[in-house]
Chain A
């Protein structure tokens, strides 16, 4: 026997699917309950069905528009009111902006660090606000951090990897499980000597230099959270360099960026990073120098 409730939920699912495909339009998501009695109970427009819906009026080829929209996470097919936005896309945008600001202040889940045996140290930035305003502090290890790394880290490895929240701890939570094992296994298979991995709170990319002043690795690699996009905080980057020194800069580094499911796939990114590291070791160079050597322009 199917209950009334089950029937209703099946109908709901079917309608939602049709709406998702744009076959049924739900322009007025509410029904006034009676004259004189204002009673609004609106649906959650941040749900996927509202994000994937086409808001263009009088589309020539609705199926084509849906196909175009499915190729990109960008906000296309949103229509217009005069030259401005229609209501619902506008509210989705504003809602995303509001939640993104919360994501910035999130801290990493300690259980994740334990799972990967990453001990935690901190840069000279003492809190998130200071971190945001003082990038210079995020490029230097705190005194305690220096001591801890001295004590715990293997010195002179071929490759030193560490993880940092950067501008999004959520990005690390999102990707670490996928990318970290791929990189570790890839390097082990290549017979390379690995340093002791760890986690740095409030790190900037330039911290690569300071870390290497202690561990003295051939290649230093950091998985770091990118700044959050609108409604998206899950993208991480891997920045790396050959023998970073105190005066190394971005031209001496390479990056694999936009790592998340939906961007550069974390498993593929891991493999790509391993390739990069091998090339750096082969040519004893990184960044622009590596590129010019590989293009045969310089030695």
Chain B
């Protein structure tokens, strides 16, 4: 194998595709930590240039981890539609980029080849794209799902109501849910991260959130983001859950560190189909985030973007209602500053849409990263323009339990206003009934922001 080019008369050579893929990435601290990043800006360009001439079949043949040794690889490879793959396997990565960007290429065209792509190919094409490329390309691709309401249609933007509380106090969580609903947040899911992963606590929160949904006849679903095994047990015992959640990693070893396996997820999916209190056909909710694999020493020497895209390949097996990366969540060791977080957020969204899953984004940062609320707002505007399915809704963006900052209850209505987007259709009608939303002007009404309207 020879992977070589010249720039300004100087030769750049790459040992193998794994090294090339790492060096073709935009600058990220996590890739430096893994020792796979380019050593200079010009070497990065050289890697992108060489990668653009690599045919897709070559990437098909070198998954991150061997088929025999890694069940995530098996899930992704077994799902490849050989007819679709046959159409594109001789294309180069560069050709794929220009084809996706081409004005003649539509959502339908992309859907036709989508199932022929592996995660490694999708990650590769993202590496050749600029930020605006990623926004434009993603904006072409729609992935529509349904649980209690419809996610992902053109012109819609949803918000997950994320009412976390440092002691899981049901009263406090309910108060936050009310505040969020009064701003039109909650159409994606009312999704609570519990402090206490015990069965009793998870059941209590499922009951409470489901009751709010029932009492106010809200077209949405609830979810408690405990470990999947706890949710499965709760559902078997009759607790009402709308979506079943789990964090994913892009390698078998990474998933082992999360205490999950494909077998366990398969079982969770069966339980969801059987017990979830939504009509479906989509029942699952996954979160991902660049760096999780490296953090568990489960990255097989690959870059964090490629591993991230493999999470989407795995997620696709379960036709999820929604998936989001939690893009600045772990910290500066993987995404150092606002610029790296922004880049990763745009890549993740595009790659997930190209994979064919319903993608939102937890655009966020931690207090030890060099980012702030302004940079997070910027990212969410870019992603909303890219057709992102949903963002988080956290009271003023400050989550006192997970200790990070994300989008706020105020952000979804702002983005809807700026970009002429609407809440999810069923939920929009409910907001109108509640007198919170002006369907003509696409604005919140004067009643918005007063949580007491939900206290009888």
CB within 8 Å of B: which residues of A? 56, 58-61, 64-65, 68-69, 71-80, 82-85, 89, 93-94, 96-97, 100-101, 104, 132-136, 167, 226-230, 232, 235, 249-251, 257-258, 262-264, 287-288, 291-292, 295
Contacts and interface: CB of A to CB of B under 8 A. Distances in A.
A80 B396 CA distance: 10
A264 B451 CA distance: 26
B455 A97 contact: no
Interface string B227-269: 1010001000000000000000000000011110000000000
Given A83-B414, A250-B296, A229 B367 contact: yes
B88 to A, nearest CB: 37
B188 to A, nearest CB: 18
B413 A72 contact: no
24 contacts: A56-B449, A56-B450, A60-B452, A65-B452, A69-B175, A71-B169, A71-B174, A73-B165, A74-B176, A74-B394, A78-B396, A83-B410, A83-B444, A93-B373, A93-B398, A97-B372, A104-B368, A134-B33, A136-B33, A230-B367, A250-B257, A250-B258, A288-B259, A292-B229
Contact of A264 (B178, B195, B396, B404): B195
A88 B69 CA distance: 56
B166 A263 contact: yes
A298 to B, nearest CB: 11
Contacts of A93: 373, 396-398
B423 interface: no
Contact of A76 (B176, B256, B413, B443): B176
In which size bucket is the chain B interface? 35 or more
Contact of A80 (B163, B366, B448): B448
A227 B403 contact: yes
Interface of B: 29, 33, 163-167, 169, 171-176, 178-179, 183, 195, 227, 229, 233, 256-259, 295-297, 331-333, 336, 366-368, 372-373, 394-405, 408, 410, 413-414, 417, 443-444, 446, 448-453, 455
Contacts of B367: 97, 100-101, 104, 227-230
Contacts of B453: 60
B165 A76 contact: no
Contact of B195 (A61, A78, A84, A257): A257
A21 to B, nearest CB: 16
Contact of B403 (A64, A226, A264, A288): A226
| Residue in B229, B332, B443, B449 with the greatest tally of chain A CB atoms within 10 Å | B449
Contacts of A68: 175, 178-179, 451-452, 455
B398 A229 contact: yes
Which of B166, B256, B332, B413 neighbours the largest number of chain A CB atoms within 10 Å of its CB? Answer: B166
Given A227-B366, A249-B256, A76 B373 contact: no
Given A69-B175, A227-B403, A250-B257, A74 B414 contact: no
A100 B398 CA distance: 13
Nearest to A231: B398
A75 B405 contact: no
Contacts of A226: 403
Contacts of A96: 398
Nearest to A248: B257
A295 B233 contact: yes
B368 A227 contact: yes
A60 B450 contact: yes
Contacts of B259: 250-251, 287-288
A83 B167 contact: no
Contacts of A89: 396
A229 to B, nearest CB: 4
Nearest to A92: B396
Given A79-B449, A251-B258, A85 B403 contact: no
B229 A262 contact: no
Nearest to B448: A80
B171 A71 contact: yes
Given A136-B33, A249-B296, A264 B452 contact: no
B176 A61 contact: no
Contacts of A56: 449-450
A156 B29 CA distance: 39
Contact of B452 (A64, A101, A295): A64
Contact of B332 (A82, A132, A230, A264): A132
Given A68-B175, A229-B403, A262 B413 contact: no
Contacts of A262: 166-167
A288 B396 contact: no
B455 A64 contact: yes
Contacts of A84: 410, 414
B169 A132 contact: no
Contacts of B178: 68
A2 B398 CA distance: 45
Contacts of B167: 258, 262-264
A123 B366 CA distance: 23
Contacts of B372: 97
A222 B401 CA distance: 20
A157 B171 CA distance: 43
Contact of B172 (A74, A78, A80, A251): A74
Nearest to A230: B398
Contacts of B404: 227, 229
B395 A74 contact: yes
A292 to B, nearest CB: 7
